[in-house]
Amino acid sequence: MRKVTIKDIAKQLNLSTSTVSRALRDSHEIGIETKRKVLELAEQLDYTPDPVALSLLNSHSNDIGVIVPDISNPFFAIVIAGIEDVAFAEGYHVVIYQSHDDYEREVLNVKHIYNRRKDGFLVAVATNTTDFSHFKNLHDKGFPIVFFDRIYEEIDTHKVAVDDYEGAYNATKHLIDQGCQRIVHISGPPHLLISKRRLQGYKTALLDHGLPYHEEYVWSTHFDSQQSIEVARQLLKSAIHPDGIFAASDNIAIGCHAAITEAGLTMPKDIALIGFSDLPMAAMLNPPLSSVAQPAFEMGRSAAELLIKLIKKPNENTQSITKVLHTNVVIRASSLRKT
Amino acid sequence: MRKVTIKDIAKQLNLSTSTVSRALRDSHEIGIETKRKVLELAEQLDYTPDPVALSLLNSHSNDIGVIVPDISNPFFAIVIAGIEDVAFAEGYHVVIYQSHDDYEREVLNVKHIYNRRKDGFLVAVATNTTDFSHFKNLHDKGFPIVFFDRIYEEIDTHKVAVDDYEGAYNATKHLIDQGCQRIVHISGPPHLLISKRRLQGYKTALLDHGLPYHEEYVWSTHFDSQQSIEVARQLLKSAIHPDGIFAASDNIAIGCHAAITEAGLTMPKDIALIGFSDLPMAAMLNPPLSSVAQPAFEMGRSAAELLIKLIKKPNENTQSITKVLHTNVVIRASSLRKT
């Protein structure tokens, strides 16, 4: 296929391309009658200026990239909605990439964003990324990057996260308040910063309330309900007999919820269950799932605002900001024993 | 930020840019020693050829766009995984856009795809799109487009859909087989082709099995669990007292599931419930949700294959293909009365 170009307009009107170009830019060097002819034909031929050619000249594409591990995780979908909310209002187009939690795919996404002249990107790092040089190289060149949710601390740029420690502490404290004595934590992948912080919150809440911390009470899985149901089945068959479960994500909690029901146990009587994120799904379960609400939309908005600041005024942001958003425990029937 | 260009290399080596350019293209006109120097410096400076500049020359970007109403709908996430599976293997990069089921946003997405020189796109049409000229104009210019799931029939290009009629017929027949007499259908937005076809399947199954078709038994909502729970609450308060519900999507069924539980009714005894799509979530509910399985991954694969064919050989595809994939009723506890 072929786009209409300035050359086509010039040829048909028997003008030079530079005259057409200046007429389209409304230059004062071009007469009114010529401008009228050019604009009329441009409209008739459905001519649109070529943003790719323009981006070669002005080096801004007004596109920003966002890389998430998995778009089917509703948490990331809500964060992206927040990013789009700010970006569209500021005249930026958002292009979405998924890493499928895979390092190689993430590297390809980053290269694509750089090579296609996006103005910058927002990223929640893939689970199996341990080498961060693809971010570091671009950051060193001055390319605008903002980390959110799954952040990488070692790069000195803006970051947006929630207070995972606080959320986990309060979730665990809630289970203790409900009378739970054998509280299991099902963590996400252990090397992730969010996993470490949630584990720390769980551990500290136990110790602060006079309960012992047992390493064998900490299980881990991926942030995926299918894999979590398997882990939960094993847990329920084990000798631990938990009376409370703090799951590090709602997807993990959904797997636990199904396994508990399948095993003929009831929530909250036999096991009190609480998740993390408060996805829309949580309230739809039977019984409805308690969860730590994360301000996902707000996280997206904040991250996009910081990125656009970096893009617009790259030199004014010498001080990197790490924004930490607060969480809120939403109590529903899956954990509420005492009313 | 600034990328290293051929000019930088030329300057440092005191060569002309055309010599550097030819050296990088391994031209036979350039001596081995010069090539070695150029390649070494290019590597040292981390020079990468500019794909934007290249795309101005060769008119192929190897990027394809995909527009879906909403990435948080797991059905579309699975379709996209199928698209990526084929596209990556063929050397294409997939860029994801969401319309948020909004016509204006869809038009912007289409413009962006065209202006950023993607090679073509795949689209599931937004719910509130009634003017299709943004597709038609590009299709008339020869721009490669493939419709999937929410297709627009009037444009003569490749399309991939499932047999909605068959799926709906079999779901309704299953409820009849379980002894349901007052089967309500909760449809998606009525003007969508998939809604019309699912309604037709429901209606024909009733009539084929000697049950009357009542218009007041057909309700409708958006493909969204939050909105569906409201509609289901109203349905359960109405004079209809359904003993079976065929929901036009799993998100609608999840809303029904929550409303039925909330009302103190049980599935399948009081109401037998079946959805459409068989999302991963369906098996996690309590009781697990019956559903019509759609081959979402296969839909994505087929659509991507057809698009890449169009891109590679635009003139050989004079005959448009409409691929119709089959569905499969997955029976779980929410509807299974007779074992």
Q: 3-state SS string over B170-218?
A: HHHHHHHHCCCCCEEEEECCCCCHHHHHHHHHHHHHHHHCCCCCCHHHE
Sequence spans of domains, chain B: 6-49, 59-161+296-325, 164-294
Q: Does B7 touch chain A (CB under 8 A)?
A: no
- Provide, rounded to the nearest whole percent, the portion of chain B with pLDDT above 90: 69
3-class SS letters over B9-43: HHHHHCCCHHHHHHHHCCCCCCCHHHHHHHHHHHH
Write the residue in B52, B141, B281 that is nearest to A55 by C-beta: B52
Q: Quote the tokens at residue B326.
A: 């089959």
Scanning the structure block, which residue is given the tokens 């584990």?
A199
Which residues, at least 6 apart from A189, have a Cβ–Cβ distance to it below 8 Å?
A: A127, A195, A220, A222, A223
Q: How many Cβ atoms from other residues are within 10 Å of residue A16's Cβ?
A: 11
Are A1 and B98 within 8 A, CB to CB?
Answer: no
Q: How many Cβ atoms from other residues are within 10 Å of residue B309's Cβ?
A: 16
Residue A146 CB burial class (10 angstroms; 0-12, 13-18, ≥19): buried
- For A64-74, how does the pLDDT look when each residue is reduced to its tens digit (9 = 90+)? 999 999 888 88
- Provide, rounded to the nearest whole percent, the portion of chain A with pLDDT above 70: 93
* pLDDT at residue B18, as a whole number: 78
Enter the CATH code of domain A164-295: 3.40.50.2300
Enter the CATH code of domain B164-294: 3.40.50.2300
Tell me the residue type at B187. S
Are B1 and A108 within 8 A, CB to CB?
Answer: no
Are B280 and A255 within 8 A, CB to CB?
Answer: no
Residue to substitute from B44, B71, B226, interface A, most A β-carbons within 10 A: B71
Mean pLDDT of B182-211: 96
Report the distance separating Cα B53 and Cα B115, nearest Å: 14
More confident site: B116 or A112: A112
Q: Which of B300, B256, B308 is nearest to B74 (CA)?
A: B300
Write out residues 110-129 of A within 8 Å (CB-CB) of B: 112, 115-117
Computed over its alpha carbons, how large is the radius of gyration of chain A?
A: 26
Q: Which of A113, A115, A33, A17 is nearest to A67 (CA)?
A: A113
* pLDDT at residue A44, as a whole number: 80
Which residues of chain B are within 8 Å of residue A254 when distances are taken between CB atoms? Answer: 281, 284
Q: Which CATH superfamily is domain A61-161+296-325 in?
A: Response regulator (3.40.50.2300)
Highest-confidence segment of A90-99, B27-36, B201-210: B201-210
Residue B240 in this model has a pLDDT that exceeds 50: yes
- Looking at the DSSP bridge assignments, the partners of residue A122 are A66, A146
Residue A278 pLDDT grade (very low, low, confident, very high; cuts 50, 70, 90) = very high
- For B141-178, how does the pLDDT look when each residue is reduced to its tens digit (9 = 90+)? 889 999 999 999 899 999 999 999 999 999 999 999 99
Are A284 and B255 within 8 A, CB to CB?
Answer: yes
Largest CA-CA distance found in chain B, in angstroms, rounded: 89
Closest residue of chain A to B224, computed from CA coordinates: A280
Enter the CATH code of domain B59-161+296-325: 3.40.50.2300
Which residues of chain A are within 8 Å of residue B2 when distances are taken between CB atoms? Answer: 59
For residue A268, say if its preceding peptide bond is cis, omega within 30 degrees of 0: yes
Instruction: Report ipTM (2 d.p.).
Output: 0.74
Are B46 and A286 within 8 A, CB to CB?
Answer: no
Return the CATH number of A6-49, one of 1.10.260.40, 3.40.50.920, 1.20.1530.20, 3.40.50.720: 1.10.260.40
Would you state the torsion angle of the CA atoms of residues B215, B217, B223, B225, taken in this order, to the nearest 10 degrees? 160
- Per-residue DSSP letter, A288: P
Q: Which of A114, A76, A81 is nearest to A98 (CA)?
A: A76
Report the distance separating Cα A111 and Cα A138, nearest Å: 9
- For B200-236, how does the pLDDT look when each residue is reduced to its tens digit (9 = 90+)? 999 999 999 999 999 999 999 998 899 999 999 999 9
- Provide, rounded to the nearest whole percent, the portion of chain A with pLDDT above 90: 69
Computed over its alpha carbons, how large is the radius of gyration of chain B?
A: 26
For residue A287, say if its preceding peptide bond is cis, omega within 30 degrees of 0: yes
Report the distance separating Cα A252 and Cα A187, nearest Å: 8
- Per-residue DSSP letter, A282: G
Closest residue of chain A to B81, computed from CA coordinates: A100
CB A51 within 8 A of CB A266: no
SS3 of A22, please? Answer: helix
Which residues, at least 6 apart from A99, have a Cβ–Cβ distance to it below 8 Å?
A: A67, A68, A69, A105, A106, A109, A126
Same fold: A61-161+296-325 with A164-295: yes
CB B60 within 8 A of CB B277: no
* pLDDT at residue A55, as a whole number: 47
Residue A318 in this model has a pLDDT that exceeds 80: no
CB A303 within 8 A of CB A160: yes
Write out residues 22-51 of A within 8 Å (CB-CB) of B: 46, 48, 50-51
Query: How high is the mean pLDDT of chain B?
Result: 90
Mean pLDDT of B69-91: 92
Residue A33 in this model has a pLDDT that exceeds 90: no
* pLDDT at residue B316, as a whole number: 65
CB A326 within 8 A of CB A165: no
Residue A17 in this model has a pLDDT that exceeds 90: no
SS3 of B318, please? Answer: coil
